[in-house]
Amino acid sequence: MQIIVAIIESMTPGELENVKKGLTQFATKRAKRPGPENSTSLKLVEAVLEHGDNFTDEDYCELMYGNKRDPRFRALKFWIKRRLLELQISDICLGHNQDLFIVYKYRIQVKKYLAQTFLYYAKGKGMRVLKFLFDQIIKIGKEYELFEELGEAYSLMVFTLNTGDPSIFDEIETKKSYYRKCQYAVDKASEIYNRRLLLEASQRNLPAHQEEMMLRNALEELDQISKEISSVKFNYFHLCLIYDYQLATRDVVQAEKTAKKLLTIVQKNRLVSNRNRTGKIYGYLCSCSLYLGNYHGVLKYAKKIKEYIKEGTSNMKLTLIHELQAQIYLSRYEDANETLKLLRIDPTYNDSERDISQYDYFHSTIHFLQGRYVECFRILQGVRDIMDDKAGWNIGVRQLSFMSLVEMGLRDQASAVVEQMRKYIERTKSKVEFRERDLIIYSLFAALNRADFDFDHSRSNMKKLMDRLSNDNDSIAWQPVSQEIVPVHIWFKEHQRMALSKRKKRKNVN
């Protein structure tokens, strides 16, 4: 019954109503009195709607036949399972299924036409019907890029030819080969795209050079294919991978342009248009805005995403994280705390220790930026190291801990954190690809420790390190999309300014 329950519960109200009518028309056994209430199959459907998975097979059997082991129940299950699947792909049920992607509806229709061709090859006037069926298949297939079905149609069409003209055969073979090439191209592009999504889910935060190499190799093959075919579906997946490559190489300006092209495609072309894809492309634009430091743009696109993407999904989780970061950067701390609550409350956004640790880290940065250093450090002490951390969250916790202790004037503990940071880097450098910026930040903190926390020490190399960290044109320039929510160079400069101001005041007094 598990399959039957799943089929029935997946139906829309419109589908269900039409399925009930279909079951009434084709009852397994004629009732003594006509009427839908006397259909055994309909009675089982109503029972499933009421009890679902809460009933066992024996419960349903007893409900239908008065005992738990009636042999008729097995036959009923077999029949109704097959009949439900048949009815769901009937034209009337497909017409009421508003959730089904329009291309899938026409693909089902074309596949039915293809199956029907086998009925007419050996019939007297079957050629008339075959011509009609193939005309419909080709018309719909071209309009909706049903390349697999078009290739199959041209393969079958050969058996209807009654001419000795070889050019007709050659023409059909050319078309068949072209559509099969198109299908291969779409399959290849979507396979690479989906493999990338799977890899991202299983190995989060791939090192930049690995991600870049993987995408570059994939695009080399797809770029060549793109010259040989014309397909909206292929172009969609191809552009998605181009966007990913541009973002991986931090060519964010071009990535944003590619995302806007994709948005136009999914909004205007029904072959690739659906709500989820539209929301995903708004997600691309949201990510670009965060990389570019356009935090108001992040909030604008996050609002659009929520119109298309369902709550409790990975895409919505990423949207909320982007929204949270933008709110922090815009000093909207109350809004940031509300977004953080949404992330913590929904269990689908808390599926690992990584998520919990990341949210705690965001929470601690909000406290730090509001000057609540004791509370910030208290939260950081409870943050567990993230296993297989490639995004730098673990070292980010240590950096913020050091800064909090400095703010609290706890220099001995701050010195201990510097030593812990050194040991952590030494211990994990073979497993984790540290950002060069994080290594320089460690060097800066170590230099500050050696200078006895004199931010303006004249003989220290801190100035040289700060020049690199502060240079927006340097390869290690601060990025909004990182664990460094509190930019270290800005924090350090403020302390340098205060140290210099104190020194000037002492000179004036003397």
Residue 201 lies in a domain: no
Mean per-residue pLDDT for 484-502? 92
Residues 164-172: contacts with CB under 8 Å, at least 24 apart:
none
> Phi/psi class of residue 189: alpha, beta or left (left: φ > 0; alpha: ψ in -120 to 50)?
alpha
- Identify which has the larger pLDDT, 26 or 88: 88
Task: Check whether 146 has a pLDDT greater than 90.
Answer: yes
DSSP 431: T
**Cα–Cα distance, 414 to 420 (Å, whole number):** 10
Task: Check whether 358 has a pLDDT greater than 70.
Answer: yes
Q: What domain range is 470 assigned to?
A: 378-510
Mean per-residue pLDDT for 204-223? 78
Confidence of residue 14 (pLDDT cuts 50, 70, 90): confident
Q: Which pLDDT score is estimated for 136?
A: 96
Last residue of a domain, one of 64, 80, 96: 96
Decide: 81 and 3 in contact? Cβ < 8 Å. yes
Residues in the chain, total: 510
Residue 56 lies in a domain: yes
**Cα–Cα distance, 176 to 137 (Å, whole number):** 13
Confidence of residue 200 (pLDDT cuts 50, 70, 90): low
Residue tagged 């730098």 (tokens): 392
Residue 61 lies in a domain: yes
**Cα–Cα distance, 358 to 236 (Å, whole number):** 33
Confidence of residue 33 (pLDDT cuts 50, 70, 90): very low
Confidence of residue 23 (pLDDT cuts 50, 70, 90): confident
The candidate with the shortest Cα–Cα distance to 469, out of 481, 484, 454, is 484
- By the 10 Å C-beta count (0-12 exposed, 13-18 middle, 19+ buried), 489 is classed as buried
Q: Which pLDDT score is estimated for 391?
A: 62
State pLDDT tens for residues 42-97. Answer: 899 999 999 999 999 999 999 999 999 899 999 999 989 998 998 888 888 888 77
Decide: 236 and 265 in contact? Cβ < 8 Å. yes
**Cα–Cα distance, 326 to 13 (Å, whole number):** 41
Confidence of residue 399 (pLDDT cuts 50, 70, 90): very high
Decide: 456 and 484 in contact? Cβ < 8 Å. no
Mean per-residue pLDDT for 480-498? 93
Task: Check whether 351 has a pLDDT greater than 90.
Answer: no
Q: Which pLDDT score is estimated for 5?
A: 93
**Cα–Cα distance, 18 to 90 (Å, whole number):** 10
**Cα–Cα distance, 290 to 286 (Å, whole number):** 6
Residue 106 lies in a domain: no
| Helix 488-509, helix 462-470: angle, nearest 10 | 130
Q: Which pLDDT score is estimated for 389?
A: 56
DSSP 434: -
Confidence of residue 260 (pLDDT cuts 50, 70, 90): very high
Decide: 53 and 2 in contact? Cβ < 8 Å. yes
Residue 334 lies in a domain: no
State pLDDT tens for residues 327-339. Answer: 999 999 999 999 9
Listed in sequence order, the residues at least 6 apart from 119 whose beta carbon sits closer than 8 Å to its beta carbon are: 126
Q: Which pLDDT score is estimated for 254?
A: 98
Residue 17 lies in a domain: yes
Element (H, E) at 344: helix 333-345
Task: Check whether 105 has a pLDDT greater than 80.
Answer: yes
**Cα–Cα distance, 240 to 234 (Å, whole number):** 10
Residue 257 lies in a domain: no
Last residue of a domain, one of 76, 96, 116: 96
Q: Which pLDDT score is estimated for 123?
A: 83
Last residue of a domain, one of 42, 65, 96: 96
Q: Please give the tally of structural domains in the chain.
A: 2
211-to-194, 197, 216, 241, 482 alpha-carbon distances in Å:
14, 12, 9, 11, 16
Decide: 108 and 143 in contact? Cβ < 8 Å. no
Task: Check whether 234 has a pLDDT greater than 70.
Answer: yes
What would you report as the CA-atom Rg of the chain, rounded to the nearest whole angstrom? 32
> Over the chain, what is the mean pLDDT?
89
**Cα–Cα distance, 211 to 465 (Å, whole number):** 29
H-type helices in 387-484, by residue range?
Answer: 393-408, 411-428, 436-450, 462-470
**Cα–Cα distance, 301 to 24 (Å, whole number):** 49
Q: Which pLDDT score is estimated for 510?
A: 60
Task: Check whether 147 has a pLDDT greater than 50.
Answer: yes
Q: Which pLDDT score is estimated for 193?
A: 84
Whole-structure pTM value: 0.80
- Identify which has the larger pLDDT, 40 or 286: 286
> Phi/psi class of residue 27: alpha, beta or left (left: φ > 0; alpha: ψ in -120 to 50)?
beta
Which segments within 20-74 are labelled E, that is strand?
Answer: none
Residue 313 lies in a domain: no
**Cα–Cα distance, 320 to 299 (Å, whole number):** 10
Window from 98-112, 186-200, 333-347 with minimum mean pLDDT: 186-200
State pLDDT tens for residues 448-482. Answer: 999 999 998 888 899 999 999 999 988 899 999 98
Q: Which pLDDT score is estimated for 10?
A: 86
Task: Check whether 405 has a pLDDT greater than 60.
Answer: yes
- Identify which has the larger pLDDT, 30 or 429: 429
